Amino acid sequence: MNAQTLLPILQLQDLSFAYPGQPALASGWCASVGEGVTLLYGDTGSGKSTLLRVIAGALPSASGTLTLAGARLDTEPEAYTRNVFFCDPAAGAFEQLTARACTATLSEGDAGFDAALWQVLVEGFSLAPHIDKPMYMLSTGSKRKVGLAAALASGRPLVLLDEPEGALDARSIGCLWRAVESLAGHAGRAIVIASSARLDHVPRVALAGCIELPLR
Ligand SMILES: Nc1ncnc2c1ncn2[C@@H]1O[C@H](COP(=O)(O)OP(=O)(O)OP(=O)(O)O)[C@@H](O)[C@H]1O
């Protein structure tokens, strides 16, 4: 546990998780995530994606207390999950929706969704020609861009990004980090980026904290 804290947005207390028959990926773990960008760093297979899913409330077999922007996952699951953006559009749940409709679904209940920023990201990610196509017609990279544009335009207090550079072209990677940089200074907002790279190659994004796997 070595997350540094400004204002805690996410608090994890006594968190434990193991897949059936496997060693624990987290055991009695405590951490706070504050405003700005926190890196969730670890080698391939160390558990980054799993921990993002636990934090998103998508793996209910985890134990412990997770509190996000004042809402506890165990006692106020709807309020908790409304406060977090996490999605993997390449995973297949949105195949029959257009990219625009997928975005509308992902931003449901998000009063702070920034439609103007989303439009800028659609242009920056070269998504405009694809935005009214069904997701099944999009490449893996374009699907990931749809998810990233929705994530970065989200007004939810916590945004979880899993290997955000994956399958992106160089221009889109530039757009991604410019957006992350500008969001990093927003009060009441935290971005957790899972990556097997330390992000040293992104000098413009100053990290507020780093959580390193395996958790100790
Ligand atoms: N649904 C699952 N059921 C059982 N074991 C799983 C499942 N998903 C992942 N695992 C295992 O849990 C461990 C952590 O996987 P996870 O995908 O969270 O790691 P990661 O750090 O995100 O890896 P990568 O960098 O390759 O994405 C791995 O040993 C993986 O095989």
Please report, for the domain that includes residue 52, its CATH number: 3.40.50.300
Task: Confirm whether 170 is domain-assigned.
Answer: no
pTM comes to 0.93
The best mutation among 17, 19, 51, 161 to test binding of ligand 1, ranked by most ligand atoms within 8 Å of the C-beta, falls on 19
- Of 156, 183, 204, which residue sits at a domain end? 156
Tens-digit pLDDT profile for residues 26-68: 999 999 999 999 999 999 999 999 999 999 999 887 899 999 9
- Quote the CA–CA distance of 89 and 92 in Å, as a whole number: 6
Q: Are residues 134 and 74 in the same domain?
A: no
Q: Are residues 47 and 72 in the same domain?
A: yes
The count of structural domains within the chain is 2
Task: Confirm whether 178 is domain-assigned.
Answer: no
The ipTM assigned to this model is 0.95
- The pLDDT-based confidence of 201 (bands split at 50, 70, 90) is confident
The residue range of the domain holding 54 is: 1-82+158-164+192-216
Nearest CA to ligand 1 atom 9: 50
Regarding the beta carbon of 45 and ligand 1, being less than 6 Å apart is answered: yes
- Of 128, 156, 184, which residue sits at a domain end? 156
pLDDT of 89 > 80? The answer is: no
Nearest CA to ligand 1 atom 8: 50
Predicted pLDDT of residue 167:
87
Predicted pLDDT of residue 145:
96
In the chain, % of residues over pLDDT 90 = 83
Task: Confirm whether 129 is domain-assigned.
Answer: yes
Task: Confirm whether 172 is domain-assigned.
Answer: no
- Ligand 1 mean position to 112 CA, how many Å? 32
Regarding the beta carbon of 19 and ligand 1, being less than 6 Å apart is answered: yes
